[in-house]
A and B are shown apart, each in its own frame.
Chain A
Amino acid sequence: MRRWPASLYLTCLLATSWAAPALAAPQSFNTALPVAQGEFLFREQFVLDQSGDDPSGANRDRTAWALVSVLGYGATPDLALFGVVPYVDKNLNLTQGGAKRERSARGLGDISLFGRYTVYRQDWPGRNLRIAPFAGLEFPTGEDDESDSLGRLPPSLQPGSGSWDPFGGVVLTYQTLDFQIDTQASYRANTEANSFAFGDVARLDGSLQYRLWPRELGGGVPGFLYGVLEANLVYQDKNQIGGSDDPNSGGLSLFILPGLQYVTKRWIIEAGVQVPAFQNLNGTALEKDYVLRAGFRLNF
């Protein structure tokens, strides 16, 4: 049975969930969340991930949802620390030997901790530019040996990976009163656990947030309604099973996310739908149909 590329899923949740200061910030990655010194930021995001269109003939249909909690803290004006705690529910329907099967698991996922340090900062009237590398580690806090009547669940259905996975990258943010652009390049090294390793993941992400309302700025600090357009180019290496490549895993995908974001001084609400623009996956790897993201953010 082909395993759903969980590292892709986790990357969507977590790479998307690792750090930055609280400006408007993207929805599909967290590295651009801004946090001032001594300030906390909390982001809660509901993520519904639907995959299907199975080329293997097993009629696999995978639905996963997650509540991803992100807590950020500004240790200094340049250093921000983040923790990401996902709670996941994964469900796989498939046909085996002519019979329909359902396999599922839920629970705490793997917690990530990471830091981001702003190495370049430039401010102009009504504009700013930030460049910040980040690095972190995903801990094997989620259960990785769940089983059902059919036996041990495949790694892609386990709430946790069981592995210690470092990641890092760099994020660039350019913001004006009218729009904001965030881009990040990141790499995640998925290590082995239980004789299995998800393929490493390299990503390029971009986000444009354009102020739709108010069209003209008045005095004070009005709330901003942003139209959001994001793109995520994700390459995942093949999974390793017992040291050998799984030919039905990994590949290249491009996702587009249109969405909306309403930003005030203290809170942000946001929602968007991530849809595949291009998926060139290996073998019978299960393609993604869509990812719905909705959530809020608080400053305190």
Chain B
Amino acid sequence: MRQQAVRRSILVALLVLGVLAAPAHAQETKGVYTLQVDGLACPFCAYGIEKQLGATEGVESVETDIKSGTVTVTMQDGATLDEDTAGMAVKAAGFTMRGYKHQGAGE
């Protein structure tokens, strides 16, 4: 009886750990990059940036904060965004990338 209870406890613990570990694994594989963009000054500007970056291979989503001039790029699992590619996409949209930061894992 006691051995069965111990086994059950271990099984439950493993299941809980497994559930918790799954999202942690996903976080490790999705790169998040923050770009500081100069020249962003109205909502219409944001569309061009998001379209250019969104067309870049491996990009999952792009979010702009117009007040701070930051663009957050979330990559698909295992994909990366190098600084040159990000800079060219921003330039194609008609603006200037002043900062590039790899935030590491994201959701």
Contacts and interface: CB of A to CB of B under 8 A. Distances in A.
Interface residues of B, number: 30
B52 A36 contact: yes
A38 B39 contact: no
Given A127-B39, A220-B63, A23 B95 contact: no
Contacts of A248: none
B45 interface: yes
B43 A36 contact: no
A contact patch SS: loop
B45 A34 contact: yes
Contact of A128 (B41, B55, B63): B41
B92 to A, nearest CB: 4
Contacts of B39: 123-124, 127-128
Contacts of B51: 36, 38-39, 299
Interface in B37-62: 38-52, 55
A77 B91 contact: yes
Given A218-B67, A299-B48, A265 B43 contact: yes
A74 B44 CA distance: 14
A140 B107 CA distance: 58
Contact of A23 (B38, B44, B50): B44
Interface residues of A, number: 38
30 contacts: A22-B44, A23-B45, A34-B44, A34-B45, A34-B48, A34-B94, A36-B52, A36-B94, A38-B55, A39-B51, A77-B91, A123-B39, A126-B40, A126-B69, A128-B38, A128-B39, A175-B42, A180-B42, A219-B67, A220-B63, A220-B65, A221-B64, A223-B43, A224-B42, A263-B44, A264-B44, A266-B47, A299-B47, A299-B48, A299-B51
A-B pairs with lowest CB-CB distance, top 8: A123-B39, A36-B48, A123-B38, A128-B39, A37-B92, A123-B96, A217-B67, A265-B47
